[in-house]
């Protein structure tokens, strides 16, 4: 069972969280967005209050989100995903109807991530204590400018289940570089709606050029130095960004 919460009225928005987190990660933004939108915040399988059930691959998770959208009688929502959620909403847009995508701090150039992840793979596959140690290390490195209150709140909702994390990252860990690049290219090139990629962490100087070669209507926006959670570091700016992006959708 996929758990979700629905609030507000207006044009529909679907919010998808990052790995080990839940729909609660969006709490500071939901009320603001629900003033003018119908907001659907989803717990991915194996996260939050949703059921743990293999498989945990991106396409399955995107299909789960679509089933929730259909069951809620929502048509062509704006998709907003952070981290893992950014990959999930990208896969959703490649397969199902949507008005547009906002990807928050998730590079789709997964080959770069593959290199860093494989350097800690033995620890990820180690005992529970070692696994949790490396997960804490990974998240601590991405905190950026997030204040103490928000950081403590995210830590309190984080649930790092080893089988879920390894399942989510299985493609990155198990495919060779060529296979991973081919998978990403096939997915990204199927996205035909406006796509905004917002980064508080630097995705690489040539990332905009790389992304635009795959996603025709893509744009990259950098919020330098904010880290992995730019939407929570500068919440008012993010809400305005959503509003501005929607204005462009109406012109498409």
Q: Which domains does the chain have, with CATH numbers?
A: 4-251 (3.40.50.1820)
At residue 252, the pLDDT reads 44
Q: Which two three-digit tokens encode residue 100?
A: 């547009």
C-alpha 106/C-alpha 108 separation (Å) is 6
C-alpha 41/C-alpha 120 separation (Å) is 31
C-alpha 18/C-alpha 219 separation (Å) is 21
Tell me: the pLDDT tens digits for 109-165? Answer: 999 899 889 999 999 999 999 999 999 999 999 999 999 999 999 999 999 999 999
Q: Tokens 């198990």 sit at which residue?
A: 174
C-alpha 102/C-alpha 199 separation (Å) is 11
Sequence-distant contacts of 5-8: CB under 8 A, at least 24 apart: 5/30, 5/40, 5/41, 6/38, 6/39, 6/40, 6/41, 6/72, 7/31, 7/34, 7/38, 7/39, 7/41, 8/33, 8/34, 8/35, 8/36, 8/37, 8/38, 8/39
Q: Which pTM value belongs to this model? A: 0.96
In this structure, the dihedral spanned by the alpha carbons of residues 116, 117, 123 and 125, taken in order and rounded to 10 degrees, is -160
> Angle at which helices 58-71 and 84-95 pack, to 10 degrees?
70
252 residues of the chain, pLDDT tens digit each: 999 999 999 999 999 999 999 999 999 999 999 999 999 999 999 999 999 999 999 999 999 999 999 999 999 999 999 999 999 999 999 999 999 999 999 999 999 899 889 999 999 999 999 999 999 999 999 999 999 999 999 999 999 999 999 999 999 999 999 999 999 999 999 999 999 999 999 999 999 999 999 999 999 999 999 999 999 999 999 999 999 999 989 654
């Amino acid at each position: 069972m996929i758990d979700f919460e629905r609030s507000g009225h207006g044009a529909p928005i679907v919010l998808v969280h990052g790995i080990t987190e839940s729909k609660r990660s969006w709490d500071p933004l939901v009320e603001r967005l629900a003033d003018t939108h119908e907001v659907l915040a989803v717990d991915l399988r194996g996260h939050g209050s949703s059921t743990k059930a293999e498989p945990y691959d991106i396409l399955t998770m995107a299909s789960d989100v679509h089933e929730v959208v259909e069951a809620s009688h929502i048509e062509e929502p704006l998709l907003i995903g952070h981290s893992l959620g950014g990959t999930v909403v990208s896969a959703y847009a490649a397969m199902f109807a949507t008005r547009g995508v906002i990807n928050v701090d998730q590079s789709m150039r997964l080959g770069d991530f593959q290199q860093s992840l494989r350097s800690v793979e033995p620890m990820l596959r180690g005992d529970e204590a070692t696994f949790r140690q490396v997960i804490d290390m990974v998240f601590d490195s991405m905190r950026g400018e997030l204040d103490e209150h928000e950081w403590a709140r995210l830590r309190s909702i984080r649930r790092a289940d080893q089988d879920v994390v390894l399942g989510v990252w299985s493609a990155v860990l198990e495919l060779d570089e060529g296979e991973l690049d081919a998978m990403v290219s096939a997915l990204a090139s199927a996205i035909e709606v406006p796509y905004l990629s917002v980064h508080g962490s630097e995705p690489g100087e040539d990332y905009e050029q790389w992304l635009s070669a795959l996603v025709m209507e893509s744009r990259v926006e950098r919020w330098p130095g904010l880290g992995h959670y730019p939407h929570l570091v500068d919440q008012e700016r993010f809400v305005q960004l959503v509003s501005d992006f929607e204005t462009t959708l109406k012109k498409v």
